[in-house]
Every structure is written in C-alpha cells, then in structure tokens.
A and B are shown apart, each in its own frame.
Chain A
Amino acid sequence: MSSTPSSLPPRGSQANDDERLPVAFTLNGETVDTQVHPLDTLLEVLRDKLRLTGTKGACHEGECGSCTVLVNGIPMNSCLILAPQVQGSDLVTVEGLADGETLSNVQQAFLDLGAVQCGYCTPGLLIAAKAFLETCPDPTPEQIRKGMEGNICRCTGYVKVIDAVIEAAKTMPSLKGARHEQA
C-alpha cells in the first residue's frame, strides 16, 4: 500500500512553473511592474516576490482576514486574489499606512489602547479598520462588530480592537482624500 501526502496538492500544479505574466499596479504609492506566475496569489507576490512581509497569511482560504489589503480602496483577502487580477489597481498594504515615522491614526490608536498582542492579525485589522472608517466614520461598537467581522484575532477578544477603532474614528483626518469606489 503506498501513501499520498495528506495535504492538498501543491498550489499551481496545473501550470508550468516557468510560465509568467506581466502585471503592473501601484503599491503604497509606488509603481510596480513585475512578472508573476499566472496562479500566484497576490499574497504570495507581496510576500515572496516583493518581500513586503507585513501582510500575513494564516488560513489561506479567506476566513481570517490576516492577509487583508486595499485594492482600489476596498479591503480584500489577498490570499484569494490571483496576482494578475490586480493589473492596473491601486494597492495599499500595512507598510503603506504610516507617513514616514508618523503612524496613521489607526496604527497609533491600536498601539496606545493595547489592541495589539501577538500582532499577527494586526496588519489585516489595521487595513480593515482604515477601510471601515472611511465608510463608517463615526461607528458604534455594534457597527464595528458587523463591519469588521471578517478579521479573526485569537489573542485580544476584540475588546481593545473595538476601542481602538472608536478612538481612531475620533482622530480621523478629514475624508477629502478618501476613495468612494466601494461597491
């Protein structure tokens, strides 16, 4: 009796490893022009190719939100997007939130109010919070619970995360720069 590995087949097994597609997008304000495998996920390209490891993978099936990035202002799970799909898009990752040494209001609120423990979900939560606050600038805790339910945190019990989002809302910069392309 012979064995097969218990895990899923390797990702990208149906395509030639050497196959490449050009893809260009804006990432944290910078133009990126690169070649990707057609089945590479956006998460893989961000982390492995572009070496931006701030965006995390934790479930790789769209359940936990750790890999959330902004695609044209909309928070998306980068583990579920194939890299060629973001051709021409405007992407923001956690590395794009601070302005030099100055943290964004959401980052600062997470740091000040103890919304960070192990920190692994934090990049995804920060991106989700930024997007959420742009659609809901003065949220109640209940609105946050519904609006950010797609991001799992295993450490905090969400209490201080919700506190931080409310605090960030108080210090939101004006929305003049906010995008309004949400579906």
Chain B
Amino acid sequence: MSKPDFAPVGSSVRRNDARGKVTGETRYGGDLAGVDALHVAVLRSDLPHAEILAVDTSKALALKGVVAVFTAEDVPGTNRHGLIRRDQELIASRFVRYTGDAVAVVVAETHKIARRALALIDVDYRPLPGVFSIDEALAPDAPQLHAIGNILTRKPILRGDAEAAMREAHVTVEETYLTQAVDHAFLDLEAGMAYMDGDVLTLHAAGQWVHEERRLLALALGLPYERVRIIQPATGGAFGGREDLGIQIYLALAALLTGKTVRLDYDRAESMTARHKRHPLRIRYQLGADREGNLVAAKVTVHADTGAYASTGDAVMRKSASHATGPYRIPNVQVDVIGVFTNVSPCGAMRGFGAAQMAVGYELALDRLATELGMDRLEIRRRNLIRNGESVTTTQVIPVATGLQCLEEAQTRIGWGQRDYETSQPTLRRGYGISAFCFGLGYGDGFPDASRAKVRFAEDGVLEVYTGAVEVGQGLTTVMAQIAAQECGVDPESVRVIWADTHRTPESGSSSATRQTYFTGSAVQIAASELRLQLMDIGATLLPIHWDDLTIAGGEIRDRHDPTQAVPLDAVLAEGRRRSYSLEASGIFKPPTLPSDPDGLSPRSFITYLFGSHACSVLVDIETGEVQVEKIVAVHDVGKALNPMLVTGQIEGGVTQGLGMALMEEVIRREGKILNSGFTDYILPTMGDVPPIEAVYLENADPGGPYGARGIGEPPLIGTPPAILSAIADAIGTQVTELPATPERVWRAIQEKQQRERSRDLGEPASVRSRQ
C-alpha cells in the first residue's frame, strides 16, 4: 500500500505498462500470431486514377500455397467505409483513385507466397487522367474524382467586415504559406491477427476508436455489430495515423471468408503508401493592424489537398477554419477553407489536425506585420492575445485564456530581452523565434462526443477500470489508474485497467482530438467517485462515523480528525459484499458543443481551449542553409498535470514532431506516387537533431476537466514549427514560406533576399516582395 498521504493525481506515477515494454514481453500487433496463421497481402493500385475493367486471379490462385484471392465481388455488405463519409471501398470495385487503393486481397500459407501471388494477379485497367495538385483539381476542365466533384467541402468564418476593416487598416501584409504532407511514421507498423471465435469475427488490430471501427467494419461486411469484436493490442504510436480503417479491413475479410486465423504485416513502404497523411495547405494570409499594432482584420483563404477520399477531411477543414486566427483578438475575419480532392493518398487526421498548419500562417503573418510596424515580435503578441473572457474567432468566449501568461513564461525562459546574436563563425547566424497558439479540445462543432467508464472492485480485491479508449503510447491506462486510485484511496500501481475490447469495455470514443484525459478522465472520475461513496457508506457503519467526517487514502477509510480511527479497505469490501453492495459504478461524460452557424460561428465550438507558447533559438549556416536548433522552450497551460512525467513526455515528443515538420519531414509525391516511402528518404528527427527542450506546464484549472486538467496530446506539436520558422527569419532576415525549411529552401530564401537587395541598390523597383 502507498504512503498514507500519497495523492496519485498530480504525481509522476510510473507507467503501468512500462515493465513489459522494457523486458520485451509486451505484445504488439505483429507479435501475436502463431506459426500456423495464414498470411494476408493486399494488391494495391500502381496507377493514381483508373477504371478497373477486369481482375484475373486465376494464376495467383493456381500458385501452390495460395488459399484464396478476394476481389470487390467477394465482399459482403456495403463494401464502403470512411469516418465521416463512406466514400472509400474496402476493395475497389470499379475505380482506383490513388496509388495505393486496394484491388485484391491474397491469403496464403506464407508471407513470401502471398507476396508472389500479388504479382500473378492481372488487373486490366483503363487509365484515367489524374489531378495531382490543387490547381489541377480546380481547373474548369479537370477530371472529376467523385460524384460531388473535386471539392470535398468549404468551411467559412465570417465575422465583422473584413473587407472594409482591411481597407481602413494602417498597415497590411499579405503572404502565401505552403505546408507539406507529413507521415505519422509511428514505428509500430500496421500488423495484426484475426480469426473466427465461433461466429464472432475477432480482430487484434490497433486503431484509435475500436467501437467505431467495429461499426464501420460490421456495416461494410454485412454483419451485426455483436458479431465483430476488436481487441486492441499494445500499440506503438498512432498520432492520428490509425484513425482510418486500414489493416482491419483485410484481416476481417480474410478471416471471415476463409474461417482461418490470419495475420497481416505491412512493410514500411505499404504503410506509407496506403495510409492517409497530414493535409498540405496553401494558406493565403492577409492581416491588417492599426497604428498601435492592434489587429483589425484577417482575410484567409486556404486550399487543402485532401487527396483521393474524404477521410476526416471535413473535420480537419473545420478545425483549420476555427483555428485560422489562433489565440488573437481580431474583430473582422473572413476565412475560406477549401478541401480539394486529388489523386494522391488521402489526407486526414494527424496530431494538430488542421490547426498545426494554420499556426504557421497566422504566426508568420503576424511576424511580417510586426516588421512593417517596427514592433518587436513579442510586443505585438502581448498586445493581441485574448484575455480571460474574450472570444476566439468563432465567437466562443474563453473564461481561462492564458496565452499571455504562457508567452511571458516562454520569453523569460528563452531570454528574449537578452538575445545574443554573437556566433562562433561568420557564416553562422543566430535567430530567435517565439510563437503563441490555442487549441480546442474534443471533436467539437456539435458532433456527439462522449466517454463512458466502469470501475469495480474485482473478486480478488483489485480495483479495476474498464474503458474502451485505446492506449497508443500516451499513458492513458496509467492516468486512468491514477484517477480511480485517487477516488478510491488505493495504490495506483495496484489498479488493473481493462481497455479497448469491444466485447468487454464501454465505449469511450477515440484517442484523438486531445480528448481522452478530459473525457475518459472525467468518466473515470465520475464512476470512481460513485464507488467511493459506496465505500464511505460501508465504512461509516463499520467505524461508525458520519461519512462527512471520513476520508479515504492509503488503502483505508479513516476519521479525518482522528486518523487512528480507521478501517482497512479489505474489511470494507468484505462487509460490502456481505451486504450486497455492487462495489462497482459507471460514469458517462458527455458535455455538449454547438454546431457552427452558416458563417462558421458558434458560442461553444469546443468544450475548452488550451493555450501555449513556444520559443527557440537557432543557428543558420548562411552558406549551406542548414539550420541547427539550439534550444526550445515549450509552455502549455494544461490546467492540472495529472502526471507531470507523462505531461512533459508528451510535450517533448510533440515538440520533436513539430521540429520534424518545420525542418525535414515531407512526403514527396510525383504524379500521385510517393517517392520517399521509407526511412532512408523520409527524414525523421534523430537524437542528434533534437536540442534541449524545456517542457513547461502551467496549471490554471479548467472549469470542466477532471481535477482542472485539459489535455496535452496535440498542442505541443503546434507551437514549434512557427517558432522555428520565426527564428530562421530572424537569423537570415527573410521568411522561408514553404515547409519544411530544408537547407535548400533556406539557402534559396537567402539568395532571393540578396537579389532583392541588389535590385534595390541598382534602383530597380522592388516589385517582387514575396516568393510564390
């Protein structure tokens, strides 16, 4: 038992899944199947856009060791899936729309045979013209990808009169920023196992929302929900990349149609080819301010390349719109976010979800405005950050808007007032950057968003927590154990967490949208505090003392005024069982949000907002364009750090992914084909790239979260790219406007700046102010 006054919530409790992870005993999706499992492999389209005229599987079927080959004709049910729109087929029946669409599924005795069989399937394609960029897709005579055309959705924000305010502004800036397609690159490749357990199709495969995955699979395969069971194995990262259905589809089909135990293991190339990406955005940002630097208007047009299918694109676009002006007070706003279909891999959820890209836009535009006004970049942020009780762009009033406090913390820690530009070599230039941002938690926009949890004392006396939420590495099972332990007075390391099994756990929604600490944390707290009341009720009669005077901690119930008057929980549980107490309780947490009106406005678009600020210093080699980040300070107001070690771990990891987005990560596609589908060419931050990171959290309590907590999954990624880009601009005197800021792009920006200066010296008109 823990020490009497140990409070599990707020302590850096060690992860309850770490031991198995350091011994190698933990089983991930690829570690489960025995040697008898059949192997599944997927034939993927190598054309970006084509009509399938015929698929001949006879040669593949004739190969020794091949058990079955399935095409769209074999799929029972609707053969359609998609988290928001069911616009994607499990196996393409007539059209393929990106290089990676599934065309056939092989089941064979070995992995090698399955791969060989793929090469023996003859697909007769009629190639169709493709569209590979936003402009191609929007051209008047462009081939259309879907019945709705090439525009997935448009999400507006219209507030005040941006046109008029921009005309009257003392100073305006206008720039286009380009962000890139990014891969989640979780290390644990998609892999899993499936079999029929009686008539229940059972999958062990990692997703981010097992209950929704069950619904989608059941419909697509024509099965009742209860005949599909999904159990999430240990999962090596997700970052949004496991939100769309992937391996689940082919595992389910193969197990259902063969009746055998099957496994599927993507390699890295298939993982990167098949899976959705972060949306590349083209952000046209116009920002205006008055003479004192108060922002008066923003006009923002965003084109997002959403790829071949909807995925979660609608929601990403909405998040880009609602976060288009970040944490700033701007009375007149006009935003148009346009999601465009192209014949490249679908784009969808990734940590930051449309908000991360927009932060690059509003922060760099704000820097430009500061330059025009001759203001310090810190000062313009101080002036325009919203304060408690002011609203973000959707008109939602934010009661705890602590962006300024985060900013001051970040600037103090980076030493903004003592910036030192001295470097060891003449070719090295130092720069400092600072960013501010906010982030709305949960699905938002009126989408039903709920989490459920159950807690109980099991027959062996162990406190159990049941949640449908998935643990993907973030530490959810540890935090839920802490909350239950806090309420029921037990050691958090003793709590057993049963999670993400559609047949055993209640639905808790997805591990996404920075929502699980807030939602499932609340559901567990509600349930566990109910259970606590049962314990108190029993304890009150055992002692006997009125429960108002009792407290529960350290494995016992005791008089809060006289700790010697105590009864151990074991005795309380025994007495409770004798008297038929259930010793279990359930909780549901379902706070409402409101859908936006036709102007994109809503008084409660998200359940709450988190504010943050990052600052950094970089060194730029002006001869090579190489950027070395020296230090990053990352401040977030988390409300309450339920587990400081996990909170800082999330911050450090998110910052590092942000560094990757800023400087190196980019999925390069030509004619729809990914050119860098492996880690040799898709460059991830290594230990050598990542500088010291100061992960800082503030704790201004959230009025609605458990113990005042918000969440910390996505925000740490958001502040880093604009801070680094700002620092680069500070070092070289011009902005890099296209991400990632590779050495080549930085070098080009330097050259173009020099060229502009030479032109100016020669008296030529400075017509080119910005890069395309």
Is B24 in contact with A61, judged by CB distance below 8 angstroms?
no
Closest A residue to B237 by CB, please name it: A118
Is B24 in contact with A10, judged by CB distance below 8 angstroms?
no
Which residues of the partner chain B approach A64 to less than 8 Å between Cβ atoms? 187, 679, 684
In the complex, chain B residues 567-605 whose Cβ is within 8 Å of any chain A Cβ: none
Is A107 in contact with B44, judged by CB distance below 8 angstroms?
no
Inter-chain CA distance A59–B656, complex, in Å, is 19
* Binary per-residue interface labels of chain B (184-225) against chain A in the complex, 1 for a CB within 8 Å, 0 otherwise: 011111000000000000000000000000000000000000
A60-B267, A155-B473, A161-B687 known; A119 vs B46 contact (CB < 8 Å): no
Which residues of the partner chain B approach A108 to less than 8 Å between Cβ atoms? 22
* Binary per-residue interface labels of chain B (630-668) against chain A in the complex, 1 for a CB within 8 Å, 0 otherwise: 000000000000000110110111111100000000000
Is A97 in contact with B23, judged by CB distance below 8 angstroms?
yes
Which residues of the partner chain A approach B46 to less than 8 Å between Cβ atoms? 3-6
Is A157 in contact with B693, judged by CB distance below 8 angstroms?
yes
* Binary per-residue interface labels of chain A (116-148) against chain B in the complex, 1 for a CB within 8 Å, 0 otherwise: 111111110010000000000000010011101
Closest A residue to B103 by CB, please name it: A3
Is B22 in contact with A110, judged by CB distance below 8 angstroms?
yes
Q: Is A63 in contact with chain B by the CB < 8 A criterion?
A: yes
Q: Is A173 in contact with chain B by the CB < 8 A criterion?
A: no
Which residues of the partner chain A approach B234 to less than 8 Å between Cβ atoms? 119
A118-B186, A157-B653 known; A61 vs B678 contact (CB < 8 Å): yes
Closest B residue to A120 by CB, please name it: B236
In the complex, chain B residues 334-361 whose Cβ is within 8 Å of any chain A Cβ: none
Closest B residue to A96 by CB, please name it: B24
In the complex, chain A residues 64-87 whose Cβ is within 8 Å of any chain B Cβ: 64, 66
A58-B187, A148-B687, A154-B657 known; A117 vs B649 contact (CB < 8 Å): yes
Is B111 in contact with A152, judged by CB distance below 8 angstroms?
no
Which residues of the partner chain B approach A48 to less than 8 Å between Cβ atoms? 35
Is A59 in contact with B678, judged by CB distance below 8 angstroms?
yes
A3-B46, A6-B99 known; A103 vs B693 contact (CB < 8 Å): no
A112-B14, A119-B18, A154-B187 known; A6 vs B100 contact (CB < 8 Å): yes
Is A54 in contact with B187, judged by CB distance below 8 angstroms?
no
Q: Is A8 in contact with chain B by the CB < 8 A criterion?
A: yes
Which residues of the partner chain A approach B285 to less than 8 Å between Cβ atoms? none
Q: How far is the CB of B770 from chain A (nearest CB, A)?
A: 33
A5-B43, A60-B268, A162-B687 known; A10 vs B111 contact (CB < 8 Å): yes
Q: Is B472 in contact with chain A by the CB < 8 A criterion?
A: yes
Which residues of the partner chain A approach B687 to less than 8 Å between Cβ atoms? 144-145, 148-149, 151, 153, 158, 161-162
Q: Is A95 in contact with chain B by the CB < 8 A criterion?
A: yes
Q: Is A171 in contact with chain B by the CB < 8 A criterion?
A: no
Which residues of the partner chain B approach A159 to less than 8 Å between Cβ atoms? 648-649, 652, 690, 692-693, 695
Which residues of the partner chain A approach B123 to less than 8 Å between Cβ atoms? 2-3
Q: How far is the CB of A38 from chain B (nearest CB, A)?
A: 14
Interface-centre pick from B14, B19, B653 (highest chain A CB count, 10 A) = B653
A59-B678, A60-B267, A155-B473 known; A122 vs B693 contact (CB < 8 Å): no
Closest A residue to B32 by CB, please name it: A53
Q: How far is the CB of B21 from chain A (nearest CB, A)?
A: 3
Q: Is B25 in contact with chain A by the CB < 8 A criterion?
A: yes
A1-B124, A111-B14 known; A154 vs B237 contact (CB < 8 Å): yes
Closest A residue to B473 by CB, please name it: A118
A7-B267, A64-B187 known; A111 vs B22 contact (CB < 8 Å): yes
Which residues of the partner chain A approach B474 to less than 8 Å between Cβ atoms? 117
Q: How far is the CB of B57 from chain A (nearest CB, A)?
A: 12
Is A114 in contact with B112, judged by CB distance below 8 angstroms?
no
Residue of B24, B111, B188 touching A93 (CB-CB under 8 A):
B24
Which residues of the partner chain A approach B24 to less than 8 Å between Cβ atoms? 52-55, 93-95, 123
Closest B residue to A114 by CB, please name it: B645
Is A8 in contact with B269, judged by CB distance below 8 angstroms?
yes
Is B125 in contact with A95, judged by CB distance below 8 angstroms?
no
Q: Is B12 in contact with chain A by the CB < 8 A criterion?
A: yes
Interface-centre pick from A11, A97, A156 (highest chain B CB count, 10 A) = A156
Which residues of the partner chain A approach B79 to less than 8 Å between Cβ atoms? none
Inter-chain CA distance A110–B186, complex, in Å, is 20
Is B188 in contact with A58, judged by CB distance below 8 angstroms?
yes
Closest A residue to B43 by CB, please name it: A5
Is A3 in contact with B678, judged by CB distance below 8 angstroms?
no
Of the listed stretches B3-11, B114-122, B289-297, chain A binds B114-122
Q: Is A98 in contact with chain B by the CB < 8 A criterion?
A: yes
Which residues of the partner chain B approach A151 to less than 8 Å between Cβ atoms? 686-687
Is B649 in contact with A156, judged by CB distance below 8 angstroms?
yes
Q: Is A182 in contact with chain B by the CB < 8 A criterion?
A: no
Which residues of the partner chain A approach B111 to less than 8 Å between Cβ atoms? 10
Which residues of the partner chain A approach B115 to less than 8 Å between Cβ atoms? 5, 7, 9-10
Closest B residue to A155 by CB, please name it: B653
Is B653 in contact with A156, judged by CB distance below 8 angstroms?
yes
Is B99 in contact with A152, judged by CB distance below 8 angstroms?
no
Is A152 in contact with B27, judged by CB distance below 8 angstroms?
no
In the complex, chain B residues 232-258 whose Cβ is within 8 Å of any chain A Cβ: 234-237, 239
Q: Is B136 in contact with chain A by the CB < 8 A criterion?
A: no
Q: Is B475 in contact with chain A by the CB < 8 A criterion?
A: yes
Closest B residue to A10 by CB, please name it: B115
Q: Is B417 in contact with chain A by the CB < 8 A criterion?
A: no
Is A5 in contact with B22, judged by CB distance below 8 angstroms?
no
Closest B residue to A62 by CB, please name it: B680
Inter-chain CA distance A93–B126, complex, in Å, is 50
Q: Is B466 in contact with chain A by the CB < 8 A criterion?
A: no
Q: Is B150 in contact with chain A by the CB < 8 A criterion?
A: no
Residue of A10, A63, A94, A116 touching B15 (CB-CB under 8 A):
A116
In the complex, chain B residues 100-145 whose Cβ is within 8 Å of any chain A Cβ: 100, 103, 110-112, 115-116, 118-119, 121-127
Taking A56-B236, A117-B474, A160-B645 as given, write out 16 further A-B residue pairs in contact, using a Cβ cutoff of 8 Å, ordered by the A residue number: A6-B273, A53-B28, A54-B23, A56-B28, A59-B268, A61-B680, A93-B24, A103-B19, A103-B23, A114-B15, A116-B22, A117-B237, A157-B690, A159-B648, A160-B648, A161-B687
Chosen A-B contacts, 20 in total, with CB atoms closer than 8 Å, are A3-B45, A7-B269, A13-B116, A54-B25, A56-B28, A60-B268, A107-B22, A111-B14, A111-B22, A114-B645, A117-B649, A118-B237, A120-B473, A145-B687, A149-B688, A150-B686, A151-B686, A152-B679, A154-B237, A157-B693
Listed from nearest, the 4 A-B pairs whose CB atoms lie closest are: A54-B24, A118-B473, A120-B236, A119-B21
Chain B residues within CB distance 8 Å of chain A: 12, 14-15, 17-28, 30-31, 35, 43-47, 99-100, 103, 110-112, 115-116, 118-119, 121-127, 185-189, 234-237, 239, 267-270, 273, 472-475, 645-646, 648-649, 651-657, 678-680, 684, 686-688, 690, 692-693, 695
